[in-house]
Amino acid sequence: MNRERVQIFDTTLRDGSQGMGISFSLDDKLRITEVLDDLGVDYIEGGWPGSNPKDIAFFKNVKNIKLKNSRISAFSSTKRAFLKIEDDKNIQTLIASETPVFTIFGKSWDLHVEKALKVPLKENLNMIYETIKYLKKYADEVIYDAEHFFDGYQSDPDYAIKTIKAAEEGGADIIVLADTNGGTPWFVLEDIIKNTKKQINVPFGIHAHNDSDMAVVNSLVAVKNGAIQVQGTINGIGERCGNANLCSVIPNLFFKMGVETIPGENLKKLTFVSRFVSELSNRAPVTNLPFVGENAFAHKGGIHVSAVRRNTKTYEHIRPEDVGNKRKILISELSGKSNMLEKARELGIEVDKNSPVVRDILKRVKDMESKGYYFEGAEASFELLFKSLTSKVKKYFDLKGFRVFVWKDSENGVPKSEAIIKGVVPKEISKEFGIKETFDHTSADGSGPVEALDKALRKVLEKFYPTLKEVKLVDYKVRILNEQAATKAATRVLIQSTDGKTKWGTVGVSENILEASWIALTDAFKYKLMKDDEKERKNEKKKN
């Protein structure tokens, strides 16, 4: 099938970095550039070289990257009013970036011209024309972003059109219509585009913000009406409510409208790119993002899971693997037998659908969740539970008890903690490592009680299980479950751990926060040891 093609202009590094709490380092920007180029976007807007030294350094360093698919664009505004363009420092800094593409924004809204710029309407038209014409001598392409175009059109359509005609006469290669305040509904935007495209002779694009939650649909509507370029950001990051989310725009265009953007085979990279940018943005990935979110193909209700097991189309609009994502079966009090059977299949456990074990596990899970357990964020704890009831899981250690002391040296002193634990490691494990004692009790200090427990347990276990040195606690969440019970309220602790290769979540519930923490912590260690054993058995099978 011959597909229409639309350009993707990624502005994650410029417009996206203006989002609250986001600050990319120079290294971050260069790494994201490489990933975006590998994804296959047409343009990467690297920043505004006239605004800060980091962006100037980016344009210098990005020249050392051999790009396969993307063109780098530098961003700036039109020249200042009543100033010779040769004397405008912003424009000269832009030229010094030596990028093949320049993106210039100018004012389309009479309100902004008169109240923000405080210049005559005619001078604004001159600023747009002169800037575009001048820059055409220094770049392969000049893209003009018509800022606030849709608001400007609704205020004074004749003047808004004059601004983009000035850009056209100056030689702009593409005119991008921007819904900068993000407040234009799709049906208004569509009417304005239909009227506007009749009056210009150069290709046009769309730059939509998400303040009314319509950035993606406005982008799709613009393409439906002839836009040849969509500007946006990975995960929709950006100022205020963000920009059009390219992780939604790209697959919607491909799967729903038959429009190609990045190469079709690269769609499978979308989920990775989404999470990579989240990581470098220092933000946890948004789990409910369409297409690329962790929950985009998650199924919880038993009826849903039963149907998906028969035919995935019953509750999935595309295949998760087509965008690099995966199906996820959730376990909760809403689960049915189908959830358990599908989860067993995921874990590689053979269980007969009529086996009483399935019913027993389902009952156990529902009982535990009624007490506050929550397995959606703690699949490692669920896997331990499931395997302990359906197969033999080695008993790696047995806790006999623990004590935790917290004290302060003075009124202004920093609280300190000490944990003492009692327990045993099976004799066969001790013999395997040539260690006579199976631990009785040990202690360790920590800045907090959980850290002290963690250190005390490691102090003993790592000499029996050296791979536990790889395990790091990366997230710790506490939730009070029944606040009305005050100090007797049940507490749920969720822990996320990693060994540098994979991450896993564990959960503990108790009226005592330390016991809840201990349950989640020990599950994290047991899960690591179980996975190491499984890996070893697989390697042994391959040898044989």
Give 110-131 as a 3 state SS string. HHHHHHHHCCCHHHHHHHHHHH
- Whether 333 and 474 map to the same domain: the answer is no
Contact assessment for residue 450 and residue 468, using Cβ atoms and an 8 Å cutoff: no
| Percentage of the chain lying above the pLDDT 70 cut | 90
Averaged over 392-406, what is the pLDDT? 84
Q: What is the CATH number of the domain that holds 251?
A: 3.20.20.70
Among 69-78, 151-160, 163-172, 322-331, the minimum mean pLDDT is found in 322-331
Q: 221 and 143 share a domain?
A: yes
Closest CA to 124 of 160, 76, 92, 97: 160
Rounded Cα gap, residues 259 and 4, in angstroms: 5
Task: Judge if 126 and 107 occupy the same domain.
Answer: yes
Q: On the CB side of 299, how many CA atoms lie within 13 Å of its CA?
A: 23
Say if 385 falls within a structural domain.
Answer: no
Q: Are 128 and 265 in the same domain?
A: yes
Instruction: Look at 265 and 305; give whichever has higher pLDDT.
Output: 265
Q: What type of residue is 276? A: F
Q: How far apart are CA 510 and CA 513, in angstroms?
A: 6
Within 10 Å of residue 213's Cβ, how many Cβ atoms?
9
Which pLDDT value is given to residue 411? 75
CA–CA dist 164, 161 (Å, integer): 5
Mean pLDDT of 515-543: 89
**Band (433; pLDDT cuts 50, 70, 90):** low
Q: How far is the C-alpha of 394 from the C-alpha of 524, rounded, in Å? A: 15
How large is the average pLDDT for residues 33-42? 97
* d(C-alpha 211, C-alpha 162), whole Å: 27
Are 44 and 72 within 8 A, CB to CB?
yes
Match 């924004």 to its residue by tokens: 105
What count of residues does the chain have? 544
Q: Is 456 found in the same domain as 481?
A: no
Residues 330 and 433 in one domain: no
The residue with greater pLDDT, 286 or 58, is: 58
Of the ranges 66-75, 317-326, 336-345, 514-523, which one carries the lowest mean pLDDT score? 336-345
d(CA 161, CA 349): 65
What band does 96 get if pLDDT is binned at 50, 70 and 90? very high
* C-alpha closest to that of 348 among 537, 507, 542: 537
- Of 96-100, 169-173, 202-206, 304-308, the least confident: 304-308
Mean pLDDT of 161-174: 98
Residue 355 lies inside a defined structural domain of this protein: yes
Same-domain check for residues 307 and 406 = no
pLDDT tens-digit series, residues 335-369: 556 666 766 676 666 777 777 777 777 778 777 87
Mean pLDDT for the stretch of residues 209-221? 98
pLDDT at 193: 98
Helix, strand or coil for residue 79? Answer: coil
Q: Which residue has the higher pLDDT, 464 or 304?
A: 464
In a domain, 390, yes or no: no
Instruction: Round to whole Å and give the CA distance between 92 and 80.
Output: 12
Report yes or no on 47 lying in a domain. Answer: yes
Residue 202 forms part of a structural domain: yes
The domain of 441 spans 397-464
pLDDT at residue 318 tops 80:
yes
Q: Is 386 domain-assigned? A: no
Query: Domain check: are 440 and 341 in the same one?
Result: no
Sequence letter at residue 338: S
Q: What pLDDT score was predicted for residue 327?
A: 79
Residue 290: Cβ within 10 Å count = 15
Using pLDDT thresholds of 50, 70 and 90, give the confidence band for residue 491: confident
Our count of domains for the chain comes to 4
More confident residue, 544 or 491: 491
Q: Do residues 239 and 18 lie in contact, with contact meaning Cβ atoms separated by under 8 Å?
A: yes
CA distance 61 to 69: 18
Q: What is the pLDDT of residues 499-526, one digit of tens each?
A: 988 888 899 999 888 999 999 999 999 9
Provide the Cα torsion 250, 252, 256, 261; round to 10°: -10
Spatial CA neighbour of 62 closest among 111, 16, 27: 27
Cβ atoms of 482 and 511 within 8 Å: the answer is: no
Q: Is the pLDDT of residue 542 over 90?
A: no
Instruction: Specify whether the CB–CB gap between 459 and 422 falls below 8 A.
Output: no
Same domain, 230 and 311: no
Q: What is the pLDDT of residue 480?
A: 77
Question: Which pairs with CB-CB distance under 8 Å and at least 24 residues apart come from 439-444?
Answer: 443/418, 443/419, 444/418, 444/419
pLDDT value for 378: 78
Distance CA 229, CA 175 (A): 9
23-35: average pLDDT: 93
Q: Which residue has the higher pLDDT, 333 or 93?
A: 93
Backbone angles phi and psi of 494, in degrees to 5: -110, 130
Listed residues 464, 479, 494: the one ending a domain: 464
Cα angle, residue 47 at apex, residues 73 and 68 outer, rounded to 5°: 40
Strands (E), 262-393: 298-299, 328-329
User: What radius of gyration, in Å, describes the C-alpha atoms of the chain?
Assistant: 29
> What's the mean pLDDT in 251-258?
97
Q: Are 316 and 213 in a shared domain?
A: no
Mean pLDDT, residues 144-154 taken together: 98
Beta carbons of 6 and 253 less than 8 angstroms apart:
yes
Is residue 38 one of the residues assigned to a domain? yes
- Confidence at 1, pLDDT banded by 50, 70, 90: very low
Most confident of 113-117, 143-147, 360-364: 143-147
Say whether both 111 and 181 belong to one domain. Answer: yes
Concatenating the DSSP letter of every residue in 154-214 gives HH-HHHHHHHHHHHHHHT-SEEEEEETTS---HHHHHHHHHHHGGG--S-EEEEEB-TTS-
Q: Does pLDDT of 484 surpass 60?
A: no
Q: How far is Cα 155 from Cα 414, in angstroms, rounded to an integer?
A: 61
Average pLDDT over residues 312-330: 84
Task: Say whether pLDDT at 331 is over 60.
Answer: no
Burial class (CB in 10 A: 0-12, 13-18, 19+), 181: middle
Most confident among 239-248, 327-336, 453-462, 511-520 (mean pLDDT)? 239-248
Q: What's 474's domain CATH number?
A: 3.30.160.340
Residues 275 and 230 in one domain: yes
Angle at 10 between CA 6 and CA 12, to 5 degrees: 155
Determine, yes or no, domain membership for 481: yes
* Residue finishing a domain among 420, 441, 464: 464
Q: Cα torsion at 148, 152, 154, 160 (round to 10°)?
A: -120
Percent share of the chain, pLDDT over 90: 60
Name every residue whose Cβ is closer than 8 Å to that of residue 175 and which is 6 or more positions away in sequence.
Answer: 144, 146, 164, 167, 168, 200, 202, 203, 204, 205
Q: pLDDT at residue 332 above 60?
A: no
| pTM for the structure as a whole | 0.69
Beta bridge mates, 507: 494
Q: Which of 464, 486, 514 is the last residue of a domain?
A: 464
- Torsions phi, psi for 301 (to 5 deg): -65, 135
Look at residue 281 in the predicted model and tell me its pLDDT: 85
Look over the chain and give the mean of its residue pLDDT values, rounded to a whole number. 88
Q: Find out whether 180 and 147 touch, Cβ atoms under 8 Å.
A: yes
